[in-house]
A = this chain, B = another copy of it.
Amino acid sequence: MKKIPDNAKKMFQGEAFEIWQWEQVLFDGTKKTFEVAVRPDCSTVIAVVGDKIVVQEQEQPHLSSPYFSLPGGNFEDGDDPISCAKRELEEETGLTSDTWEEWFTVPLGFRVLCDNYFFIAKNCAGNEIQKLDGGEKITNKLLSFDEFLDLRNNPAFLNIDLVRHLERAASNSEERNKLKTLLGIN
């Protein structure tokens, strides 16, 4: 198990979270119980349709206001990053792509352990029929490149790991063109 010592014990197995603890020898020789939470790794997709980017307005049954995010979700049994990305894109948007590129990966931290894999799916096409479960209510929107960059200033946009890239692209024309090329947008 990544980043967790061999002597760690699973203290709790929840629906999504596991809690692991171990006895850690500190720098001064004393001992302390260390604890981390582990949750499933996930994949996130920047899906390009023509010259537009798919952004989702999502509602959750327990939250009063919607938030904005990108297609994606947690690994299921047997998933690797790309299989998860392809499945979640198709389930949530009905879109597929034959041009996938891995962009970057974000390890969430040393207290909550999970990795988030970011993919670019160019030239997406499909029937746009969603296969959602009863807990999902997702409206897919196609944003222009400029609208996509504007998400960095939207407090309801949850993908904080992407925001740094949007800030960079919004900063000057060279960075802007770099991101457009990466996404295959003219």
> Which of A11-19, A45-53, A76-84, A86-94 forms contacts with chain B?
A11-19
- A56 CB → nearest B CB, Å: 14
Chain B residue with the shortest CB-CB distance to A62: B24
Query: Contacts of A34 on B, CB cut-off 8 Å?
Result: 15, 61-62
Distance between Cα atoms of A27 and B130 in the complex (Å)? 15
Query: Contacts of A60 on B, CB cut-off 8 Å?
Result: 110
A167 pairs with B160, CB closer than 8 A: no
Distance between Cα atoms of A14 and B37 in the complex (Å)? 10
B35 pairs with A37, CB closer than 8 A: no
A5 pairs with B168, CB closer than 8 A: no
A110 pairs with B63, CB closer than 8 A: yes
B111 pairs with A5, CB closer than 8 A: no
Interface membership of A25, Cβ < 8 A: yes
Chain B residue with the shortest CB-CB distance to A109: B158
* Interface residues, chain A, with chain B CB atoms under 8 Å away: 3, 5, 11-12, 14-17, 19, 21-22, 24-30, 32-35, 37, 39, 59-63, 67, 106, 109-112, 133-137, 152, 158, 160-161, 163-164, 167-168, 170-172, 175
CB-CB nearest 4 A-B residue pairs: A171-B171, A28-B134, A26-B134, A167-B167
**What would be 25 A-B contacts, judged by CB atoms less than 8 Å apart?**
A3-B63, A5-B62, A11-B12, A11-B14, A12-B12, A12-B14, A12-B19, A15-B21, A15-B33, A16-B35, A17-B17, A17-B37, A22-B62, A24-B62, A26-B61, A26-B133, A27-B134, A27-B137, A30-B134, A37-B39, A106-B160, A109-B158, A110-B158, A163-B164, A171-B175
